[in-house]
Chains A and B, each alone.
Chain A
Amino acid sequence: MNSQRLRLLFFFACLLLLPAHEALAELVVVVNARSGVAVMTRNEIINIFFGRYRQFFNGVEAQPVDLVDSHADRARFYSALVGKDLSDVNAYWSRQVFSGRMQPPPRVANPDEVMKWVSAHPGGIGFVDLAKADARVRVVYEFKP
């Protein structure tokens, strides 16, 4: 194998690893502080954000909120949660919407609005940087590096 090929291979290897690196930043999943939910598993979070089952274990209806595609945290979140590219996530939702099954979570423009949504809805659940999470919400899941 010549060196040019090796370099190409290295380049592609980097491309593959890129999303994993991005996921290292400290994104956390937060819920409304009064929801009675203290901790969640990854699968429970997937079930809520993908609309498979939108209820917390204690019977409170989950009200997830998402970010717009143009905010970088959205790609980070889905990459960390399910290892999926945003186009996969959008393809999933186009199937749900156009088959008439369900609507995706509402989308807001930035993490401040995520915090506002989560604290304003009893079953609110969203994702923000750990530094953003304040007393209005409770951190129920951290993406481990």
Chain B
Amino acid sequence: MTRQRADILLRQAAGSFFAIAILLVQLLIAPQVAANEESAFSLHGFGTLGVARTTGNQAEFVRDLSQPRGATNHWDARVDSVLGLQANWQLTPQLEAVIQATSRYRYDRTFTPEISWAFLKYDPNPQLSLRAGRLGTEFFMLADSRLVGYSYLPVRPPGDFFWYLPFYAIDGADLAVTVPVGEDVLRGKVYYGVSDANIPLADKQWKIDGSAMAGGYLDYQAGAWLFRLSYANIRFSHEMPIDDVLAAYLPPAQAAQASQYLTTANTRSHYYSLGAIYDSGPWLFQLMLNKIKQGSNIFQSSEGGYVLAGYRIAQVTPYLGYSWIHSDSRGNTLNPVVASIMADSHADQNTTILGARWDFAHNMAIKAQWDAIRGEPASIFPYRQERAAWTGKTDVFSVTMDFVF
């Protein structure tokens, strides 16, 4: 990436942050009057200013599939920087309205703010919670707070576990039921909705808006332990825009056959996961495992997971983690062109994570992290712009400042 391009991006980012800041000030001033009579309105925000770089330029490192370009061996602010604002209105003791806007580097290479949540929440009693509107999806545990850096220990949710998850929200509804079991708590949730996301490809975007998503999970909280079992699926509604690539390299009959073979519309992907968190005193321990079954031949099914352990010493929490992802190549590839397209979704690597979080001020934290990614040269799925010289190995260095207000 040229310096000029970086400048433009930085300016775009600054522009969006500025726009949100103005919005924030307006929102803060306006409802202040109302807040005197009715304290049911609240406005909060979160953000991360971060830079990341790798040790090579054979592939660009991204936070997840929603980012079209990523970091190489120059410090890059796009990977982790985000700003979010959220307003809550407590309409009655049972009914609440929530709206959240976020600005981050997204599929169209801008920081255009988006409405990430906009829903009504109805809690008729302590056992039931119903939400409808645009909601965060917890396809995997903690997936609905991936952008809130202040809420978790590492710089970013481990990529080997979350890369396959570019979905952040659904337009739909969810229902949660909480049941006490002695002193423990059992919680179940089901949800259904349609996605509104776009996934960037080399020079195009794959629309997954309109894709139906459904799922649920069971949580069991026993003292400092939290266990989670979850399942979700998505039925893709659109084809991937690969027909012109196929047409360029294959004769018409073969291109049509390949297009048929690599179809995504109306295929279903299944997501299974298992998680355990131990959070007590200075200790934090997380273990997450997932298994993804892809319905379309264009994707490879995969298994991934991570372990993370942290121990707080005064205001500093050093942490150590290890994550991995392995995907299964499919046997039948028809022809070399199809084979190369199918190889795009291959991942086979592990990452050792070492870092520290420093809670240096009220509601602010600084984190520094080293990710040692060790993979096969064929492991190119989560990267952008990978070159022939890519070895599958790189180191990522990140520094972030997270805050909430």
Contact = CB atoms under 8 A, between A and B. Distances in A.
Interface of A: 12, 15-16, 41, 43-44, 46-47, 52-55, 61-62, 69, 82-85, 87-88, 90-92, 94-95, 97-103
A95 B152 contact: yes
A88 B312 contact: yes
A16 B362 CA distance: 20
B145 A82 contact: no
B281 A84 contact: yes
Contacts of A55: 126-127, 180
A69 B359 CA distance: 14
Contacts of A16: 313-314
A18 to B, nearest CB: 8
Contact of A98 (B145, B183, B223): B145
A106 B135 CA distance: 24
B151 A91 contact: yes
Contact of B151 (A41, A43, A44, A92): A92
Interface of B: 42, 44, 46, 84, 86, 88, 90, 96, 98, 100, 117, 119, 121, 125-127, 129, 131, 135-136, 138, 142, 144-145, 147-148, 150-152, 178, 180, 183-185, 187, 221, 223, 280-282, 312-315, 359, 362-363, 365, 404
Contact of B150 (A41, A69, A94): A94
A52 B277 CA distance: 15
Given A84-B281, A87-B315, A98 B185 contact: no
A110 to B, nearest CB: 17
A82 B148 contact: no
B136 A100 contact: yes
B185 A44 contact: no
B136 A99 contact: yes
A98 B151 contact: yes
- Name the residue in A44, A47, A61 with the highest tally of chain B Cβ atoms < 10 Å from its Cβ: A47
A5 to B, nearest CB: 17
In the A-B complex, list the 7 residue pairs whose CB atoms are closest, starting with the nearest: A83-B281, A95-B151, A87-B359, A43-B183, A99-B144, A55-B126, A99-B145
B86 A83 contact: no
A140 B151 CA distance: 31
A98 B100 contact: yes
A46 B183 CA distance: 10
A61 B42 CA distance: 23
Contact of B280 (A83, A90, A92): A83
A100 B119 contact: yes
A98 B359 contact: no
B178 A53 contact: yes
A102 B90 CA distance: 11
Contacts of B223: 43, 46
B173 to A, nearest CB: 13
Contacts of A46: 223
A46 B279 CA distance: 13
A95 B119 CA distance: 17
A31 to B, nearest CB: 15
Given A83-B281, A91-B152, A98 B363 contact: no
Contact of B183 (A47, A61, A83, A97): A47
Contact of B282 (A52, A83, A92): A83
Nearest to B119: A100
Contacts of A92: 151
Contacts of B129: 102
A94 B180 contact: no
Contacts of A94: 46, 145, 148, 150-151, 404
